[in-house]
Chains A and B, each alone.
Chain A
Amino acid sequence: MTEEPRPYTLVAELTYRCPLRCVYCSNPLDWARHGDALGTDDWLRVFREAEELGVVQLNLTGGEPLLRDDLERLVEGARALDLYTNLITSGVPLTRDRLARLKALGLDNVQVSIQDVTAAGSERISGHRSFERKLEVARWVKGLGMPLTVNVVLHRENLDHVADVIALAESLAADRLELANTQYLGWALTNRRMLLPTREQLDAAREVARQARRRLRGRMEVLFVTPDYYADVPKACMDGWGRRFLVVTPDGLVLPCHAAHTLPGLTFDNARERSLGDIWRESAGFRAFRGEAWMPEPCRSCERRTLDFGGCRCQAYHLTGDASATDPACSLAPTHALIEAARGEAQAPRTEVVYRAAHAADGV
């Protein structure tokens, strides 16, 4: 445990604005209160300071990063630092010309989100008619000779379509398919009754993905992320708090994960006021859950503590009210009954959905 924490990945949330209103959006519920305070030069400095700290991977995300009209300059700056740059996008506000420009400036990979395998299913989840558009964007990516990641967030309403999702990704010649089960934080926690699948659904989908992974080996990477609610051991959230990842929000907060600023009592610094290096090494928020000193039992004496780092702090807080509690997803957690009760709801009839707020006025 003497290994020095080193951030390998910077998650740059360029804006929280987005044309989609997905019911499981991981942006904060009060996203509209956070403006795009970081300008072009701020972001370029953030990239430079991140690279100096050891970052080699840059995820340009949001919200919808294409809504920033300085994206070209940001991609160019990232490439000058030799960062591997991944654009994580809905695809909606893109043109083929702009994509070609971004490629020429050094963009390495494009990740397009797809919500379901039909236009109607996609619209129900995203509150936006964009399915055909996304497929077109995915074809542009491959047409320009760029690598394509297709990301599909899985939940009760589309888990039974996983075979069709895989076939769709194959038809698009995707290089990587992320089948990422919903993590129940933010808007997804609000909509959990609608989204949480049954264990049978999940097991069937996992088996389909396993077979596809074997069949497509060397052609398409197939990733299947199990939801914590059915895992019985917590996931190594962010590979451990402040160990491998840096997240910078549109208003400049530097975080160990994209939801860390929803935890009360923690202080996070702003990239406009302090260097990334200082923040990474010294800031109270980053130090709060680094290492093992903060851990309660049963984590503290658990042999898995060096594998899962105590799980997800945000899940602990949002389910138990205590950010330093053992992640309730762990079957050893004293609060694990919360997870078991939620699983019971997965049998409940279809309920109303709450779309991500479109404007500040819709804010929760």
Chain B
Amino acid sequence: MSEPRAITSESRPIVAPKARLRWDARTSRHLLLYPERGLILNPTAADVIQLCTGEHTVGEIVERLAAKYAQEPRETVEREVLTFLANMADRGLIHERHD
């Protein structure tokens, strides 16, 4: 197994096989479920996870989010996306796509 690399704007993150997203009607939030645990995602986090398909670079994900949340400065969006993805990678919930 290779060392996980740091998430950069060129990374193409993909949700790990152990994690699965589902809608939770009780909280009106997405849950990211994995063995024995789950995270309640806020709407922005859910947007990011839904774009972690291995097709989009982090840079592209930031662009999409910045367009959707146009009231936020782009730098803020970028910093928050990178922080969130680094946290998800530490938990093994996203990986970089391996070609």
- Contact assessment for B20 and A221 in the assembled complex, using a CB-CB cutoff below 8 Å: no
Interface size class of chain B, counting residues whose CB lies under 8 Å from the partner chain: 10 to 19
Q: Which chain B residues (27-53) contact chain A, with CB distance < 8 Å?
A: 31, 33-36, 38
Contacts of B38 in A (CB 8 A): 8, 56-57, 84
Residue of A nearest to B18 (CB): A147
Contact B36–A86 (Cβ < 8 Å): yes
Interface of A is mostly: loop
List A1-20 residues whose CB lies under 8 Å from chain B: 6, 8-9
Interface assignment of B58: CB less than 8 Å from any CB of chain A: no
Cβ-neighbour of A220 out of B17, B89, B92 (below 8 A): B92
Check A175–B26 contact: CB distance below 8 A.
Answer: no
User: Which B residues lie at the A interface, using CB under 8 A?
Assistant: 1, 4, 16-18, 20, 22, 24, 26, 31, 33-36, 38, 89-92
For residue B95, which residue of chain A has the nearest CB?
A218
Q: Which of A56, A173, A175 contacts B24 (CB 8 A)?
A: A56
Report B-chain residues with C-beta under 8 Å of the C-beta of A9: 36
Q: Do B35 and A149 touch across chains, with their CB atoms under 8 A apart?
A: yes
Residue in A146, A149, A175, A218 whose CB lies within 8 Å of B90: A218
Contacting residues, chain A, for B24 (C-beta < 8 A): 56
Q: What are some 24 contacts across the A-B interface (CB < 8 A)?
A: A6-B26, A8-B38, A56-B22, A57-B36, A82-B22, A84-B20, A84-B33, A84-B34, A84-B38, A86-B35, A86-B36, A108-B33, A147-B34, A170-B1, A173-B1, A175-B16, A176-B35, A218-B90, A218-B91, A219-B1, A219-B4, A219-B92, A220-B92, A221-B92
Q: In the docked arrangement, what's the CA distance between A57 and B90, Å?
A: 22
The residue on B at minimum CB distance from A8 is: B38
Number of interface residues of A (CB under 8 A): 26
- Decide if A145 is an interface residue (CB 8 Å cutoff): yes
A6 to B4, CA, bound (A): 36
Q: A268 to nearest B CB, angstroms? A: 24
Known: A56-B22, A57-B36. A145 touches B17 (CB 8 A): yes
CB distance from B58 to the nearest CB of A (A): 16
> What's the nearest-Cβ distance from chain A to residue B94, in Å?
9
Interface: A109 (CB within 8 A): yes
For B16, list chain A residues within 8 Å (CB).
Answer: 147, 175
| Least Cβ–Cβ distance between B30 and chain A, in angstroms | 11
Q: Is A54 an interface residue (CB 8 A)?
A: yes
In angstroms, Cα B16 to Cα A170, docked, is 17
